[in-house]
Structure 1
Amino acid sequence: MNYLAHLHIADHTQTSLLGNFLGDFVKGNPDGLYNVDVVKGIRLHRFVDSYTDSHPLIKTVKPLFSKELRRFSPISLDMFWDHCLAKYWLDFHANSLADFSTQTQTRIANESSSLTQALPTRFEKISELVWQGRWFEHYVDIENIEFALQRIASRSPRMAPLAQTFDTLGTHYDQLCDTFFKLYPEVLEATRLESKKETV
């Protein structure tokens, strides 16, 4: 799952939006870095990533990618799941995606302002781009997923093959959408249960 799904899951579980958004930017043990709620959100983000990567449904769609591109499939699929969530947003949330984005931006800003610790520089940069560019609303169009993959692929020669994975997403679009509608409700239920645990 990518940024939109992680924030939707935070809203679904009533856990820290900031923490769930921070998950990709904090390495190692987060205990003591931020307050208890933010740390719980970081841990929930990591749970989502682990649960999704090991899910049997993911194992059925990874072979759709060629052997040369398969190691890039987790990134490509995460972007695709965000596209599906954005496209069918009202199946999963009562408010419009535009309203959710605006409200989430405000709530994260409020959470951030209450921290005494500095946030990672890369997180600050990406967060600014997400809100200024209204990324989540743009995820509705699959062409913007292609653009996003190309942008990530351009960061280094090692990531360059990622751009080629979009062809697989397009070729197997319907099958992958069906997979999302089977997978995501299970992710939501698993995270609901996980969020009830004393994880911090």
Structure 2
Amino acid sequence: MNYLAHLHIAEHTHTSLLGNFLGDFVKGNPDEKFNHKIVQGIRLHRFVDSYTDQHPLVKTSKLLFEKEIRRFSPIALDMFWDHCLAKHWHRFHDCSLEVFSQQAQRIVTDECKNSLHALPARFEKTSQLVWQGRWFEHYVDIKNIEFALQRIATRSPRMAPLASIFTTLEVNYQTLTGTFFELYPDVLEATLKAKEKETD
């Protein structure tokens, strides 16, 4: 799951949107860096990543990618799942994606202001780009996922294979969309159980 899903899951579980958004930007033990609510969100983000990566449906989906690029499939799939969530947003939320994005931006911004610790510079930059570029609303168009993957591919020679990985998503679009509709409700249920277990 990517940024949109993590923020939706944060709202779904009534946990910190900032913490769930921060998950990709904080390494190691977050306990001494942030307050309990943000730490809880970071840990839930990590749970989602681990749970999704080990899910049988995701493991099957990875096999759709050629061996030469399969190790990059988690990045492509995470972005594809966000595309599916954005495109079929009405199935998972009562308000529009635009309204959700605006509300999420306001909540995350407020949480940032109230944080007693400095936030990672890379997060600050990404967060600004997400809100200014209205990424989540643009996720609806699958071509923007292709553009994003190509942009990531330019970051380093190691990431270059991502430039061609979109073809696999395109060829298997219907299959992967069907997988999403099985996978995401399972993830939502698992996150609620994970939160309940933590608070017991």
TM-score normalised over the length of structure 1: 0.98
2: CA distance, partners of 1:190 / 1:73: 22
| Aligned residue runs from structure 1 range 168-179, under 5 A | 168-179=168-179
Aligned mates of 2:164, 2:29 — CA distance in 1: 34
Work out the CA distance in 1 between the residues paired with 2:9 and 2:153: 27
Cα distance in structure 2, aligned partners of 1:115 and 1:61: 38
In structure 1, the residue matched to 2:125 is: 125
3-state SS in 2 of match to 1:64 = coil
Partner letter of residue 53 of structure 1? D
- 1:9 lines up with 2:9 in the alignment: yes
1:48-127 equivalence runs, <5 A:
48-127=48-127
Match of 1:134 in 2: 134
SS at 1:102 equivalent: helix
Of 130-139 and 156-165, deviating more is 156-165
Q: 1:195, 1:153 → 2: CA distance?
A: 35
Identity of aligned residues (%): 71
State the match for 1:151 in structure 2.
151
| Shift in Å, 1:196 | 1.5
CA distance in 2, matches of 1:24, 1:7: 12
CA drift of 1:198 comes to 2.5
- Any gaps of 5 or more consecutive residues in structure 1? none
Deviation at 1:186, TM superposition (A): 0.1
Instruction: Return the offset for 1:66.
Output: 0.3
Query: Any stretches of 5+ residues in structure 2 without a counterpart?
Result: none
| RMSD after superposition | 1.0
Aligned-pair CA distance for 1:164: 1.0
Partner amino acid, structure 1, of 2:117 = Q
Secondary structure of 1:68's counterpart equals coil
Partner of 1:197: 197
Deviation >4 Å, runs of 4+: none
Aligned residue pairs: how many?
200
Question: How big is each residue's C-alpha offset from its partner over 1:97-155, in whole Å with a ceiling of 9 and x where there is no partner?
Answer: 00000000000111111111110000000000000000000000000000000011110
